[in-house]
């Protein structure tokens, strides 16, 4: 009676690393809340501007309605409070230059929305010193 118990240690460790989608999260290509955008977004403050309220130094958000720089939801939520106070819903992240609409509760594709493209490009140039690469799938589709 050979009872061989081979201790095969095949314990596979699955950490369940779901790849977080950095940068290219699903973004809307339209938004009904662009009417209040500031007409002179060209006077975009530099990407390292501190929060206007608490002076948190980095990764702040720019309100595209009034050009205020405020911190995000992981800091002191000053941009969220600003939206609640003013209903300025469209903001741009100085961290990854994504555009968020509080009212849509979604990211917006700044390269596909004509009202957002100039400010996104300007922020990109201020941050990286060169214009953003045009993605091949970002050709305007007339339909």
Angle at 65 between CA 62 and CA 72, to 5 degrees: 30
Choices 5-13, 100-108, 122-130, 133-141; region in contact with Zn ion by CB under 5 A: 100-108
CA distance 44 to 139: 25
Among 37, 45, 50, 76, indicate the residue that binds Zn ion (CB under 5 A): 76
Number of residues that bind Zn ion (CB under 5 A): 16
Choices 12-20, 25-33, 36-44, 123-131; region in contact with Zn ion by CB under 5 A: 25-33
Choices 3-11, 69-77, 92-100, 125-133; region in contact with Zn ion by CB under 5 A: 69-77
Residue 79 is a binding residue for Zn ion (CB under 5 A): no
* Side-chain half-sphere CA neighbours of 94 within 13 A: 25
> Residue 91 CB: number of other CB atoms within 10 A?
26
CA distance 128 to 14: 37
Residue 117 is a binding residue for Zn ion (CB under 5 A): no
Q: DSSP letter at 43?
A: G
Q: Which two tokens stand for residue 94?
A: 């100085």
Identity of the residue, 63 or 92, whose beta carbon is nearer to Zn ion in the bound complex: 63
Residues forming contacts to Zn ion in the complex (CB under 5 A) are 31, 33, 51, 53-54, 56, 63, 65-66, 71, 76, 78, 88, 101, 103-104
């Amino acid at each position: 009676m050979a009872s061989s118990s081979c201790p095969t240690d095949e314990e596979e460790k699955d950490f369940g690393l779901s790849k977080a989608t950095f940068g290219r999260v699903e973004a809307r290509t339209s938004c009904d809340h662009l009417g209040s955008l500031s007409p002179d977004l060209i006077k975009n403050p530099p990407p390292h501007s501190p929060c206007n309220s608490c002076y948190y130094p980095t990764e702040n958000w720019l309100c595209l309605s009034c050009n205020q720089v405020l911190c995000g939801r992981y800091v002191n939520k000053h941009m969220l409070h600003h939206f609640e106070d003013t209903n300025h819903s469209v903001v741009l992240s100085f961290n990854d230059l994504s555009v968020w609409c509080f009212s849509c509760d979604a990211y917006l594709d700044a390269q596909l929305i004509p009202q957002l493209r100039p400010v996104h490009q300007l922020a990109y140039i201020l941050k990286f010193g060169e214009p953003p690469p045009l993605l091949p799938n970002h050709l305007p589709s007339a339909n």
